[in-house]
Amino acid sequence: MDVKTYATVTDLCARLAGRLTDDTLRSVREDYSGGESAQAEATLLLTMQYESIGLTQEEHDLIESTLDEDNVQDLAGVPIIDEVPPVAYRFSAQAPAGAPDPSKADIVLSADAARHGGRRLRRVWREPLDGAPDGAKWVYVLQVAEGANLLGAFAGLSGRLWVVLKEKWPLEVVVEGKPLPPYQAAAVTVAPQIWSV
């Protein structure tokens, strides 16, 4: 995958956060990171068709520019929408009583964040609104330096979290100081910092 295509799929995955389920988006990101573009595209397109998740024309054009010839016809089944839907989650700095304890995940992610270009790690509690594809849980946002491999950082840190703790907390990797898509922007706005360089 060339640099431009890699940047495009990274951008697309970020834009689709909160619209796809956490597990689907994790699978797509891991497949792209691992060089399995055809598998990532098939998962993405079939999920969007099956769950009627629409793309704006700009998103449609971006994804079309990255597709293998075998997957182009599947894009025709994805609905076109006029605008990005509102974020279907509410984010808060504090979790309700009885929420899972994130302290072990904080330690695991903080220990490896710098190795992936991390500058700051934030954690926020996510509550679903009507139409949200997933439930309430902790979400991590790793802010990285310019030039860091976002999909590689995602795959590496998510994999580490699974290997060490058998946990799959959602993780968003963003470039520090760059404009963010709505989901990540909503999370970062209220997410307290739990680690920094």
CA–CA gap between residue 144 and residue 113 (Å, rounded): 9
Domain boundaries, the chain: 3-75, 89-196
Name the nearest CA neighbour of 6 among 134, 196, 149.
149
Burial track 113-151 (b if 16+ CB lie within 10 A, e otherwise): beebbbbbbbbbbbeeeeebbbeebbbbbbbbeeebbbb
CA–CA gap between residue 118 and residue 108 (Å, rounded): 13
Mean pLDDT by 10 residues, the chain (197 residues): 84 95 95 91 91 93 84 84 96 96 97 96 98 97 94 95 96 95 96 96
- Local structure of residue 69 (DSSP, 8 states): G
Helices (H), the chain: 3-16, 22-33, 37-50, 57-64, 72-75, 103-113, 150-165, 182-190
The predicted structure's pLDDT at residue 56: 95
| Distance, CA of 60 to chain centre | 18
CA–CA gap between residue 191 and residue 98 (Å, rounded): 19
CB-neighbour burial class of residue 62 (10 A; exposed 0-12, middle 13-18, buried 19+): middle
The predicted structure's pLDDT at residue 30: 94
Cβ neighbour number for residue 36 with a 10 Å cutoff = 15
The class (CATH top level) of 89-196 is alpha beta
Q: What is the CA radius of gyration of the chain?
A: 16
The predicted structure's pLDDT at residue 2: 77
Write out pLDDT tens, residues 128-162. Answer: 999 999 999 999 999 999 999 999 999 999 999 99
